Amino acid sequence: MSMELKKAIEQISKDKGIDRDMLVDTLEEAVRSSVIRKYGDDIDVEVSFNEETGEIEVYQFKAVVEEVDDEATEINLEDAREHDPGAQIDDELGFRLKVEDLGRIAAQSAKQVIIQRMRDAEQEIIYEEYKDRIGEIISGIVQRRDKAGWIINLGRTEALLPKEHQIPRERYKRGDRVQAYLVDVRREGRGPQVIVSRSHNEYMIALFKREVPEVGDGTVRILGVARDAGSRAKVAVQSSDRDVDPVGACVGIRGSRIQNIVQELRGERIDIVVWSPDVATYAVNALSPAVISRITVDEEDNMLEVVVPDDQLTLAIGRKGQNVKLAAKLLGWKIDIFTESRYGDLHAELQHLEQIASVAEIPVEEFLAAGFDSVEKLDEADDEDLMAIGVLTETQIDDIRSAINLLRSFRTEEEEGEGFDDEDEDEIADMSEVYSAEDDETDEEEAPRGE
């Protein structure tokens, strides 16, 4: 029976990958706990595993005294000399206890301790193994579904594929083999919790590293990923070797490499974008396949104003705005898209606002900040609304009204075919000087009255 225990330790150590010495220590500690549970905390006991016999040996130690106060820890000299003729006062004698004498309850307790310690040791091994694999692609079998997501059987342990890490509209059934990206390993009371993802940007990068040798060895670098998981993605790439085309390397001959990734992601469309340090060039690449007419860069607000031909607007924006959203996410900039015709109208409107603002001697930004982004809105506003622009004098408000009326008359002439030329615009711009001069004369005439 004793050798069976030794064989069991060897077998468990091999099957579970648990250190043998740790198993022996656990066994000794479990038996010690059972002895103390049976005889009390005061007992002085030593438990050891005999490697030669394969037995658990338990010794109870008692101090030799003249008069016994505690039989669990003391023995008188006469009884001690029956056990050891050379015993003296203050000696300590060890008496072997039979493990079989511990009783059924104590044995059951020892068994539970051993099982729990083995489980803890196994969980620690699993944690150490998988925490070092964060960032890898792992595969497993779909086992079941619970409220948190899908449980994936990895063999030695289970992984959780949470709802937020699943590809939308992707369906599984028990027994399906699935690949995912290992994003985290958490220590929890029930054991390590392995978290995997199929929607994570890093999963796509890992797939490219696996399928594209140039990405795997660092010749082609992936500098950004933007995903609408399961639908479309944009991947920014750059080559460190001028002889290697980063797009061609990722696509592969007849699209073989990119198709492997697309199939793994259940048909997710992938745009390969060439990265550029120039944000305007990068934006043109990111908004592909749309054709871009011009781009205005606002570095202070991280904003891009993109103008496209009228027939390219749908392509630039994409279905449900997907193309421009992914491009903005890839660049980390806000993108506003205008058609050429719309941009022309807005530009003309802004010019007219600038002319009116010049007449009133205020920055055009004050019009825009107050919500007046068109001449029509200014025309419809009453004096109280115009006061929202800032501290305006009655003269400035009159100037604004006069400039709007003059501009309206020019527009009417243009609509009737009389034209609206540069001289007309100059006349509006010159109104600021006219009104300034009139104001000066008025001030000079009224000054004596003030006295």
121 and 10 part of one domain = yes
Question: Interior CA angle at 214 toward 210 and 218, to 5°?
Answer: 95
123 and 8 part of one domain = yes
Token digits for 141?
A: 């079998």
Q: What is the pLDDT of residue 325?
A: 95
Q: What is the pLDDT of residue 256?
A: 92
With respect to residue 317, please indicate whether it lies within any of the assigned structural domains: no
Q: What is the pLDDT of residue 72?
A: 74
| CA atoms of 194 and 52, how far apart (whole Å) | 41
* Buried/exposed 374-412: b ≥16 CB within 10 Å, e otherwise: ebeebeebeeeebeebeebeeebbebbbbbbebbeebee
With respect to residue 43, please indicate whether it lies within any of the assigned structural domains: yes
What are residue 274's DSSP bridge partners? 237
112 and 177 part of one domain = no
For 235, the domain range is 202-274
Looking at residue 254, which CATH number applies to its domain?
3.30.300.20
Residues of the chain with pLDDT under 70: 1-6, 15-17, 99-114, 344-349, 391, 410-451
With respect to residue 388, please indicate whether it lies within any of the assigned structural domains: yes
Token digits for 237?
A: 């790439």
Looking at residue 32, which CATH number applies to its domain?
3.30.1480.10
**Helix 394-415 vs helix 422-450: angle between axes, to the nearest 10 degrees?**
160
Q: What is the pLDDT of residue 419?
A: 44
| CA atoms of 74 and 61, how far apart (whole Å) | 8
160 and 212 part of one domain = no
With respect to residue 310, please indicate whether it lies within any of the assigned structural domains: no
With respect to residue 300, please indicate whether it lies within any of the assigned structural domains: no
162 and 50 part of one domain = no
108 and 7 part of one domain = yes
Q: What is the pLDDT of residue 304?
A: 94
Q: What is the pLDDT of residue 432?
A: 41
225 and 190 part of one domain = no
Reported as a single tens digit per residue, the pLDDT across 134-169 is 999 999 999 999 888 999 999 888 999 999 999 988
232 and 158 part of one domain = no
With respect to residue 371, please indicate whether it lies within any of the assigned structural domains: yes
Strand ranges (E), 51-146 = 55-65, 74-76, 92-97, 137-146
CA 50 from centroid of its chain's CA atoms? 53
Q: What is the pLDDT of residue 344?
A: 65
With respect to residue 174, please indicate whether it lies within any of the assigned structural domains: yes
Spatial contact of 207 and 264, defined as CB atoms under 8 Å apart: yes
Position 48, amino acid: S
Last residue of a domain, one of 226, 246, 274: 274
With respect to residue 144, please indicate whether it lies within any of the assigned structural domains: yes
Looking at residue 177, which CATH number applies to its domain?
2.40.50.140
108 and 14 part of one domain = yes
Q: What is the pLDDT of residue 128?
A: 86
246 and 174 part of one domain = no
238 contacts: CB under 8 Å, gap ≥ 6: 220, 221, 223, 246, 274, 275
Per the structure, the count of domains in the chain is: 4
102 and 157 part of one domain = no
Q: What is the pLDDT of residue 431?
A: 43
Token digits for 150?
A: 């899908």
Strands across the sheet containing 334-339: 294-298, 303-308, 334-339
32 and 107 part of one domain = yes
| CA atoms of 204 and 231, how far apart (whole Å) | 13
Q: Other C-beta atoms within 10 Å of 306: how many?
A: 22
Last residue of a domain, one of 239, 256, 274: 274
Token digits for 176?
A: 């399906």
Dihedral through CA 223, CA 228, CA 231, CA 234, nearest 10?
-20
